[in-house]
Structure 1
Amino acid sequence: MLSILDKYILKKYLGTFGLLLLLFVPIGIIVHLAEKIDKILENEVPFPIVAKYFLDFTIYFADLLFPLFLFLSVIWFTSKLANNTEVIAFLSSGVSFYRFLRPYMIGATIVCLIALASGMYFAPTASKGFNEFKYKYLKKGKRDRDQTNVFRQINDNDYIYASYFNVKEKSGSNFTLEHFEGNEMKYKLSANRIKYNPQDSTYSLFNYSKRIVGAHDDSIETKKRLDTVFDFEMEDLTPVDYIAETLNVVELNKFIAREKARGSSYINRYEVVRYKRYSLPVSAYILTIIAVAVSSIKRRGGMGVNLAIGIGIGMVFIFFDKIFGTMAEQSNFSPFIATWFPNFVFAILAIYLLKNAKR
């Protein structure tokens, strides 16, 4: 059963967090709208589509920055409790500091579960709408970019390679397909150029040759052009950068497993997205403890000092999260370590601050 103290703090915890979201998310929408309104008007985007975009932006923005909002909200209302000597009154009544933390941990659990559900299912849908609108109306094709050395395993037996691929034109150069049965190559297709035909889902191969490996000798077939079908699509070979953000947890796990089998070079980027869906909700506990430890002490400068300290710590947390995430995406650094390392460092800081706050 929750005591009066638990209900009081829990109400403050969730109420202040919700209020901060209601205050800052509309500000983010207004700033974003002011920045993009000229392109929206230029492209004559219908109002329902714009409204849907800003709904997706709201969910995307809140999911991205909820740790900072939570951290600042806890510092805000706990500082008010400290300035009103309510914290001293609670602790003087015989309540231990750990018992004082209990409603905060209950609140952190509620926020963690909501953030977990949002990151697994709701935020991916919002991210898909947000990114599709951005690249369709605001960036006008900037999503399309050329790629070099595209390599994929498209099934258990077939491997393909293209030295250069133009995403916008759906064509590539120096294309090869190698078919294996066990450890033996059975045939190899080659073409100077390959082009995908979206109208009938076929492929055109130019200066095509097929080498069939025989037991004693090989046979070679050549054509100037061959129209054929393959068991893959160009979008599967060169998925957009944000694809992992738009998939729910089940779809993302299947997508990563398929991309690993294909030999994708972007596995770390996808893994970072997957691990962040777990690490960011867990950060609610760590940031709550740090915020309580920092703001439960009545300081000479009042609430402003606590908020300044809180904003500084929050920015360092976001900095760590972005730096290590980018490091994992751009190198062979472990995505698991990159996404959980900020939590580990700040967990140590939380323990240290908690011990000092008890005194």
Structure 2
Amino acid sequence: MKILDRYILTSFLKTFFSVFIILMFIFVLQTIWLYIGELAGKDLDVEVILKFLLYFSPKLVPLVLPLTILVSSIMVFGAFAENYEFAAMKSSGISLQRAMRGLTVFIVFVSLVAYFFANNVIPAAEFKSINLRKNIAQLKPAMAITEGVFNDLGDFNIKVAKKSGENDRYLTDVIIHKKSPNGGNHTVIKAKSGELAGSTNSDVLSLILNEGNYYDEIMQSDYSKRARKPFMKSYFDEYVINIDLSNFNNVDLEDESYSNTDGMLKASELRESIDSFSVAYNTRMDQFRENMYSRSGLRTITRNFKPKDTTVAIGNSVLDQFNAYDGAQIANLALGTINSAKAHLSMKKQEFKNSTKQLNKFEIALHEKYVLSIACIVLFFVGAPLGAIIRKGGMGLPMVVAIVLFLTYHFIGIFAKNSAEDGSISPFVATWLSTWIMLPLGIFLTYRATTDQGLFIFGDISDAFRRLFKKGKFGKSKSDSE
């Protein structure tokens, strides 16, 4: 390795690792703040909290690494230009391309490592972190009651509209479905308010309900009476439910039974999942089309009713060809068929929408593994020439410029991926869009830097205005003299 390449690489590595550590520390703190509700108040050991952060940290690399490369490139090359080191290189016959050659090889190596990291380390860390979060959430079910949704707590499904008071112990608008041993929810309890009582050392959580009703569906042995849906209703001023927490507090934090998310899969596994999802989706679509055609009744319409006269005058109804009883039967049958088809269509529409969204997530996760590698190279060719052009090192202007560029890159990617999940745009286009936008900028900046031109062509624009102004002034003075 040449002395110049070693000097540039050493300078870049010092800045690179410093910036990477600082940014990683900032994002880890942001992670702690984001998940503080899952970690606080659950008597977790320091080892468990550190393990949680360790498993979550690899997910930050796709965000931190491109920003680190962009910031480091601008700072290092800006410092070289500010200290006239590039001027000394150019006076010695060393061009900017030659000065960037050693770092280009290093960045390519970093991009390959980034792909390996995204394809192997991040899925494993995602698997560990999600399972650990699931297990932590079960340690204290009293804290696992989320407002506005049903929460599974042992033999009960509990939903509350609002939590308040110390440790969120007071509940408003409580709805409880009690699970039946034979399956199903035949008992419903509704109360205006409730209170959680118990200690962290106790295996029993007392739920005190106030001003509510108790609904219990009565299962009849006679099937003909079940259509009436008989039930028993009672009112209470206060009702206490004791929930056994012994099974919840005995949670194995090393359990890794959950493995159903796109972030846990490698590229080969994602491609296999995409293929299987696509085949299953197309099969379900074919079955749905066949089912909807069968529901229409077109196959059996000629066997059910035969009109007396197949000729129908213009303006008359087909039902006029039948007697009143048969016509009413036909109308009721058609109305029932249409309502059933509409309900089935609405249900299947949401089902297919969810399937499409899941398939798009798999495609986005696959392309993100490749985008990380290419983004490292593209952002280097944005930051390095930009630093040489602005000729400013340090943490001031280079950091501001880098953050603005990266936020633009990052937000474009986020908005595009969110649009791709619901099928508005292709997942391939959405994942690569921000990189495609930065690529022409990198080419433009590299060309401007290697040809010793400024960031913008202000000189040409100002010269044009100057010539136009002088021409207008000369023409005006000439006419005045005449």
Name the stretch that deviates more: 270-279 or 55-64.
55-64
Alignment CA distance shift 1:80-1:338 (3 Å): same
1:304 matched to 2:304? The reply is: no
Given residue 261 of structure 1, which amino acid in structure 2 is its aligned partner?
V
Post-superposition Cα deviations, 1:42-70, rounded to whole Å, max 9, x if no partner, equal: 12223332221111122211233311121
Q: 1:15 to 1:140 in 2, by over 3 A?
A: farther
Write the distance in 2 (CA, Å) between the matches of 1:260 and 1:48.
42
**What does residue 59 of structure 2 align with?**
60
C-alpha contact 1:256 1:271 (8 A) present in aligned 2? yes
Residue 288 (structure 1) aligned to one of 377, 380, 394: 380
Q: CA 1:241 to 1:337, structure 2 compared with 1: closer, same or farther past 3 Å?
A: farther
**How far apart in 1 are the matches of 2:114 and 2:16?**
13
Match of 1:229 in 2: none
Cα 1:339–1:38 change in 2 (3 A) is closer
1:59-138 to 2 correspondences below 5 Å = 59-137=58-136
Q: Is contact 2:55–2:129 with CA below 8 Å preserved after alignment?
A: yes
Higher normalized strand content (fraction of residues): 1
- 275 and 241 in structure 1: CA distance in 2 versus 1, 3 angstrom threshold: farther
CA distance in 1, matches of 2:8, 2:376: 16
Partner of 1:237: none
Compared CA separation, residues 21 and 242, structure 1 to 2 (3 A): farther
Q: CA distance change for structure 1 residues 49 and 75 in 2, over 3 Å: closer, same or farther?
A: same
* Cα pair distance change 1:343/1:32, threshold 3 Å: closer
TM-score by length of 2: 0.51
Listed as ranges, the matches of 1:247-262 within 5 Å are 247-262=265-280
Partners of 1:320 and 1:241 lie apart in 2 by 30
1:66-120 superposed Cα distances (whole Å, 9 cap, x missing partner): 1112111211222222221112212221112221221221121121011101100
RMSD over aligned Cα atoms? 3.4
Matches of 1:123 and 1:108 in 2, distance apart?
Answer: 20
Deviates more, 1:34-43 or 1:278-287: 34-43
Give 1:35 shift: 5.3
CA contact (8 A) 1:135 1:141 kept: no
Separation in 2 of the partners of 1:105 and 1:321? 25
Q: Which amino acid aligns with 2:266?
A: N
Which secondary structure does the structure 2 equivalent of 1:43 belong to? coil
Q: Distance in 2 between matches of 1:339 and 1:272?
A: 6
Q: 2:118·2:369 contact (CA, 8 Å) conserved in 1? A: yes
Scaled by the length of structure 1, what TM-score is found? 0.67
1:36 deviates by 4.1
**Does the CA-based 8 Å contact 1:29-1:54 persist in structure 2?**
yes
Which residue does the alignment assign to 2:417?
325
* Alpha carbons 2:70, 2:380 under 8 Å: kept: yes
The residue number in structure 2 matching 1:8 is: 7
- Consecutive unaligned residues of structure 1, counting only runs of 5 or more, are 147-165, 170-202, 206-223, 225-239
Structure 2 counterparts to residues 1-359 of structure 1, below 5 A: 2-34=1-33, 36-37=35-36, 39-137=38-136, 140=144, 243-263=261-281, 264-265=355-356, 266-297=358-389, 299=391, 304-359=396-451
Counterpart of 1:102 in structure 2: which amino acid? R
Q: Which runs of 5+ in 2 are unaligned?
A: 138-142, 155-181, 185-225, 227-257, 282-354, 452-482
Larger Rg computed on CA atoms? 2
Q: Distance in 2 between matches of 1:243 and 1:131?
A: 9
